Amino acid sequence: MAGNQKAKGKAEQAKGKAKETVGRAVGNERMEAEGRMEGAKGDARQAKEKAKDTFKH
């Protein structure tokens, strides 16, 4: 299960970065902000899973 959550975090990070880049390229501030939020959500998920791994070992 943890691997699934890590993969989901990576996917959110990638999707957020892409959305942010496209938003910046077309001058869409809302899309850019949404991309940053998605990326941050992925970062948080990754950090949570990393902390769980640390306490398991």
The CA-CA-CA angle for residues 37, 43, 44, to 5°, reads 90
> pTM here?
0.79
CA torsion sign for 26, 31, 44, 50 is negative
Q: List the domain boundaries for the chain.
A: 2-56
Instruction: Please write the tens of the pLDDT for every residue from 35-53.
Output: 999 999 999 999 998 898 8
Q: For 20-32, write each residue's pLDDT tens digit.
A: 999 999 999 999 9
Cα gap 57→46, rounded to integer Å: 17
